[in-house]
Chains A and B, each alone.
Chain A
Amino acid sequence: MLTHPSQLAAWKARILDERPVPKKTVVVSNGTCGRASGSLGIIEALDRELDRRGLRETVRLEVTGCHGFCELEPNIVILPEGIYYGRLKPEDVPPVIEKTILKGAVVDSLVYADPKTGRKYALQNEIPFYRKQMRLLTEDNLRIDPNRIEDYVLVDGYQALTKALFDMTAEEVIREVDTAGLRGRGGAGFPTGKKWQFCRNEVADRRYIICNADEGNPGTYMDRSILAANPHSVIEGMIIGAYAIGAVEGYIYVRMEAPQAVHQITIARDQARKYGLLGKSILGSEFHFDIQIVEGAGAFVCGEETSLMSSIEGRRAVSRQRPPFPAQSGLWGYPTNINNVETWANVPLIIKRGAEWYSQIGTAKSKGTKIFSLVGKIRHGGQVEVPMGIKLREIIYDIGGGIKDGKKFKAVQTGGPAGGFLPAEFLDLAVDYDNLVQAGSTMGSGGMIVLDETTCMVDVARHYMHFTQEESCGKCVPCRVGTRQMHDILVRITRGEGEEEDLARLEELGDSIRVASLCGLGQSAPNTVLSTLRHFREEYIEHIKQRKCAARVCGGLVPLPTQESPQPDRKAKKR
């Protein structure tokens, strides 16, 4: 239990003192993708082999959250060299121990080879996927076992909190975050410092803060990865925010489809409580704050702030009109500040390294880094953290290695169901909040789904509309009925039963739903359809006039595949 700020440094020194210094450390990435790809088998094999050879004293096994390179899971990194081996099988473990751990040599057959050039890269930070990233929020993932608060303390965790609580006033903290230029990572991009100030300005006898971890956009998973890999960074950010805003209680609302995130954040919260970092008189100060964790129950609309608050209150998660904004009247009618996971995780960084340093990263109006889930038809899918202002082309080609299976790039979808599609002419767009909106899409929470020539844009638009109409909370008519109408039209078109007038109908419906819906879900629901109509109108016309689907996706329009092997060339490729 820490009761004085100086005890944090003493604790860190003690951990360092007590922890044996290993000759080598084997880091196993054990996030959701890792486990789905067999990381648990690798851990078992490592355990067995280290025991068998009596190497426990000299080799440390560190099981961590996701390192981002999901496509090559399960993977390990051997420190201090930083040797990277991907797509491991349990039988690869003995040679790794034999050669790399004991003899310091590289196992050539396990080294990553660039599929384009064939060039091999033994070290993690040399691999093109990592080289162009700027991993500020995710760099510590390699050193943190999320089950151990000690690992976070060792990477200078909770030092920003000490600084905020004892060297800064609440106003100074807000000013620092505001000067840094941090904007909400949940999608809207609202300046975080301003939002905090609004909430602080409200006269009330209690205020709440919320961490929105209801990451519902399909194809987007950085928030749950942060929670599962470095949960204390979010908790520390929340405590600092609560101090700045003057909140006594915080809620983390996590979606239930992310069980690992729920598990890890709960462990982290309990450890923070145990050490006096949450609760009464944090670090001996006069500041009290605690965090409750609420597990969602599977409703996309809960990502919308007013719905999320209804859900925390235990009611149906229907949205309500704003104003009043949550900062005025939020949870149980009290002023409430809601930020997304990634936003909270940026806070300790800003406090620790200063607004001046932070604001040098990024573009004029979008500061810092952004984590993207680079997925879809991309060669190297995973989570990438890049500075704002990087070009789409750099993300997709330099980091992501281009399109899978030698196919041609068609578009990239950003912003999830609320976003849009960017075709090839936008590849040189510098990625930030404002540029993406100007190009007809949004940053959203950071989904980046790459589509190739085998993707039918009408089908993808139908897919998104199916999603939004199912997830509409049903309170307002434009969203409930309108999205259904749009969906039905799209289904007709993909079946080859479309009419030319349908395009105008879609646009008219889209415009009405945008203007008349109650909350963000409805207001943005038509975006994916309108965006495909704007950039890929000819595909719609082809479906309607020629009854043809060039991508051969829409079932009613192409010859039916044979029984035993439908669309053989289109199946997900097995390793």
Chain B
Amino acid sequence: MTGLEMDDLLRGYGREQKDLTKILHRIQGEYGFISSQAIRRVAEHLNTTENEVYGVLTFYKAFRLRPRGKHLITVCQGTSCHVRGGAWVFDEMKKVLGVEPGETTPDRMFSLETVNCLGCCAIGPTVVVDGTYHSQVSVKDVHSIIAECRKRK
């Protein structure tokens, strides 16, 4: 992230507190995470403190302070998925990847995240891989999902 790009990005946004989450969404969309440098620039832009920006972004689940891996795997933790076997799918995913939710594998291939409900409860358990929804996922499917990602590189 160069200073110029960040200036360009921020120019499109207002300078009020209400613009903060919109800006953070955009930065994360652009760079994949929100760096400490970005926090400083946003604070300057909104004429507020870095502490304020940091406080807001860590409150919400959406924002990451570290870059994520090549593939993002999101496992739904909603109640419907849970009672349909989602808990086992989640455990298997953690075991196979060797990471906890919010973490990235050491080879930077996979980041594992959870979500509270994706809204396709009737066809759960649901796992989203890089934006693609997988429905009725079983414990066995976990392995094929990961293998498929590795193949895609």
By the criterion CB–CB under 8 Å, are B56 and A316 in contact? Answer: yes
> Is B117's CB within 8 Å of the partner chain A?
yes
Given the complex of chains A and B, what is the CA–CA distance between A572 and B121 in angstroms? 12
> Is A27's CB within 8 Å of the partner chain B?
no
By the criterion CB–CB under 8 Å, are A35 and B122 in contact? Answer: no
Q: How many A-B pairs fall under 8 Å by CB?
A: 165
Contact partners of B62 in chain A: CB under 8 A: 256, 296-298
> Is B77's CB within 8 Å of the partner chain A?
yes
Given the complex of chains A and B, what is the CA–CA distance between A331 and B82 in angstroms? 36
Contact partners of A316 in chain B: CB under 8 A: 55-56, 59
**Chain B nearest CB, measured from A259 CB (Å):** 9
Contact partners of A71 in chain B: CB under 8 A: 122-123
| Cβ-defined partner of A314 (8 Å) among B19, B122, B124, B135 | B19
Q: Whose C-beta in chain B lies nearest to the C-beta of A73?
A: B123
Given contacts A297-B25, A311-B21, contact A257 B115 (CB under 8 A): yes
> Is A340's CB within 8 Å of the partner chain B?
no
> Is A497's CB within 8 Å of the partner chain B?
no
By the criterion CB–CB under 8 Å, are B79 and A464 in contact? Answer: yes
Contact partners of A224 in chain B: CB under 8 A: 119
Cβ < 8 Å to A, chain B residues 36-80: 55-56, 59-63, 77-80
Given the complex of chains A and B, what is the CA–CA distance between A217 and B78 in angstroms? 8
> Is B9's CB within 8 Å of the partner chain A?
no
> Is B85's CB within 8 Å of the partner chain A?
yes
Contact partners of B85 in chain A: CB under 8 A: 567, 570-572
Q: Whose C-beta in chain B lies nearest to the C-beta of A374?
A: B122
By the criterion CB–CB under 8 Å, are B116 and A314 in contact? Answer: no
By the criterion CB–CB under 8 Å, are B80 and A299 in contact? Answer: no
Which of A258, A300, A382, A566 neighbours the largest number of chain B CB atoms within 10 Å of its CB? Answer: A566
> Is B112's CB within 8 Å of the partner chain A?
no
Contact partners of B20 in chain A: CB under 8 A: 314-315
> Is A387's CB within 8 Å of the partner chain B?
no
Given contacts A219-B117, A313-B18, contact A381 B63 (CB under 8 A): no
Contact partners of A473 in chain B: CB under 8 A: 59
| Cβ-defined partner of B116 (8 Å) among A300, A570, A573 | A300
Cβ < 8 Å to B, chain A residues 10-59: 32-33, 35-37
By the criterion CB–CB under 8 Å, are B60 and A216 in contact? Answer: no
Contact partners of A377 in chain B: CB under 8 A: 83-84
Segment of B103-111, B136-144, B145-153 in the binding face: B136-144
Contact partners of A492 in chain B: CB under 8 A: none
By the criterion CB–CB under 8 Å, are A571 and B88 in contact? Answer: yes
By the criterion CB–CB under 8 Å, are B119 and A32 in contact? Answer: yes
By the criterion CB–CB under 8 Å, are B116 and A566 in contact? Answer: no
Cβ < 8 Å to A, chain B residues 82-129: 82-89, 92, 115-126
> Is B133's CB within 8 Å of the partner chain A?
yes
Interface size on A, residues (CB 8 A): 63
By the criterion CB–CB under 8 Å, are A567 and B88 in contact? Answer: yes
Contact partners of B139 in chain A: CB under 8 A: 565-566, 571
**B interface, size bucket:** 35 or more
Given the complex of chains A and B, what is the CA–CA distance between A317 and B22 in angstroms? 15
Given the complex of chains A and B, what is the CA–CA distance between A32 and B20 in angstroms? 29
By the criterion CB–CB under 8 Å, are A218 and B83 in contact? Answer: no
By the criterion CB–CB under 8 Å, are B135 and A36 in contact? Answer: yes
Given contacts A224-B119, A381-B121, contact A295 B83 (CB under 8 A): no
Cβ < 8 Å to B, chain A residues 233-259: 256-258
Cβ < 8 Å to B, chain A residues 432-468: 447, 449, 451, 455, 460, 463-464, 467
Contact partners of A464 in chain B: CB under 8 A: 79
**Chain A nearest CB, measured from B136 CB (Å):** 5
Given contacts A37-B123, A449-B83, A566-B88, contact A574 B136 (CB under 8 A): yes
| Cβ-defined partner of A455 (8 Å) among B18, B59, B83 | B83
> Is A575's CB within 8 Å of the partner chain B?
yes
| Cβ-defined partner of B63 (8 Å) among A297, A312, A317, A416 | A297
Q: Whose C-beta in chain A lies nearest to the C-beta of B57?
A: A297
By the criterion CB–CB under 8 Å, are A413 and B79 in contact? Answer: yes
By the criterion CB–CB under 8 Å, are A572 and B117 in contact? Answer: no
Q: Whose C-beta in chain B lies nearest to the C-beta of A222?
A: B119
By the criterion CB–CB under 8 Å, are A220 and B136 in contact? Answer: no
> Is A375's CB within 8 Å of the partner chain B?
yes
Given contacts A36-B126, A571-B139, contact A258 B84 (CB under 8 A): no
Given contacts A299-B59, A376-B83, A377-B84, contact A217 B117 (CB under 8 A): yes
Q: Whose C-beta in chain B lies nearest to the C-beta of A404?
A: B84
**Chain B nearest CB, measured from A220 CB (Å):** 7
> Is A221's CB within 8 Å of the partner chain B?
yes
> Is A225's CB within 8 Å of the partner chain B?
yes
Q: Whose C-beta in chain B lies nearest to the C-beta of A454?
A: B83
**Chain B nearest CB, measured from A16 CB (Å):** 34
Q: Whose C-beta in chain A lies nearest to the C-beta of B63?
A: A297
Contact partners of A216 in chain B: CB under 8 A: 116-117
Contact partners of B88 in chain A: CB under 8 A: 566-567, 570-571
**Chain A nearest CB, measured from B103 CB (Å):** 16
Given the complex of chains A and B, what is the CA–CA distance between A350 and B95 in angstroms? 53
By the criterion CB–CB under 8 Å, are A572 and B82 in contact? Answer: no
Residues of A within 8 A of B (CB): 32-33, 35-37, 70-71, 73, 215-221, 224-225, 256-258, 294-300, 311-317, 373-378, 381-382, 413, 416, 447, 449, 451, 455, 460, 463-464, 467, 471, 473, 565-567, 570-575
A to B CB contacts below 8 Å, 8 in the list? A33-B123, A218-B116, A314-B17, A314-B20, A315-B20, A315-B56, A413-B79, A449-B121
Residues of B within 8 A of A (CB): 16-22, 24-25, 55-56, 59-63, 77-80, 82-89, 92, 115-126, 133-140
Taking A33-B122, A71-B122 as known contacts, 8 extra A-B pairs with beta carbons closer than 8 A to each other, sorted by chain A number, are A32-B120, A218-B80, A218-B121, A295-B21, A296-B62, A317-B59, A317-B60, A376-B79
Closest 8 CB pairs of A and B: A381-B122, A298-B61, A221-B119, A36-B133, A297-B60, A70-B122, A218-B78, A375-B121
